[in-house]
């Protein structure tokens, strides 16, 4: 019996590799965004704690205000970075979806080609069995004819 060989296997492997690369890039940008979200959350917590802090001297009040300004700027900077990365995140997600779709198309084609291969193999096997049974029938028929001829001769 023949072995199934998919004609577009190299292309499928290439698309699978590209999909894995796209998935890795998507995962990387997701991790960066999650890290920035955690930074923003931490900075917000620090800002809230600083806002309720009690100052007893004018210097402590100035330091608290400067620290609040620093935290506000850091929060805004992180939010801008997240917005920039969000565009890349969307792009990477769409890229991953397209590459996955391309791979799945090739896999469906492979599955259809395999089904056709199986059908063809079944058909060839059935033809072989039909031919074998037909040959067996003719041999039996010939043997019966020879036996009848021998009986007539006697």
* Domain contains 3: no
What lies within 8 Å, CB to CB, of 68 at 6+ separation is 47, 50, 51
pLDDT given for residue 50 in this prediction: 84
* Domain contains 2: no
| Alpha-carbon span 140 to 64, nearest angstrom | 108
Domains: count for the chain? 1
* Domain contains 97: yes
* Domain contains 31: yes
pLDDT in tens, 65-104: 899 999 999 999 999 999 999 999 999 999 999 999 999 9
List the domain range (segments joined by +) for residue 27: 9-153
- Secondary structure of 44-66 in HEC code, one letter for each residue: HHHHHHHHHCCCCCHHHHHHHHH
Q: CATH code at 90?
A: 1.10.287.1700
* Domain contains 93: yes
Question: What are 72's two structure tokens?
Answer: 């506000």
pTM tops 0.85: no
pLDDT in tens, 18-54: 999 999 999 999 999 999 999 999 999 998 888 877 8
């Amino acid at each position: 019996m023949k072995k199934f060989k998919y004609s577009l296997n190299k292309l499928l492997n290439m698309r699978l590799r590209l999909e894995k690369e796209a998935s890795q890039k998507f995962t990387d940008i997701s991790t960066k965004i999650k890290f920035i979200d955690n930074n923003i959350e931490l900075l917000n917590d620090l800002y809230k704690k600083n806002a309720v802090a009690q100052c007893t001297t004018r210097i402590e009040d100035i330091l608290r205000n400067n620290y609040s300004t620093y935290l506000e700027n850091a929060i805004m900077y992180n939010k801008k970075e997240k917005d920039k990365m969000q565009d890349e995140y969307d792009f990477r997600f769409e890229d991953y979806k397209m590459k996955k779709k391309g791979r799945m198309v090739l896999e469906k084609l492979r599955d259809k080609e395999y089904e056709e291969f199986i059908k063809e193999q079944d058909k060839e096997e059935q033809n072989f069995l039909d031919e074998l049974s037909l040959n067996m029938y003719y041999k039996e028929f010939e043997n019966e004819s020879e036996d009848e001829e021998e009986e007539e001769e006697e």
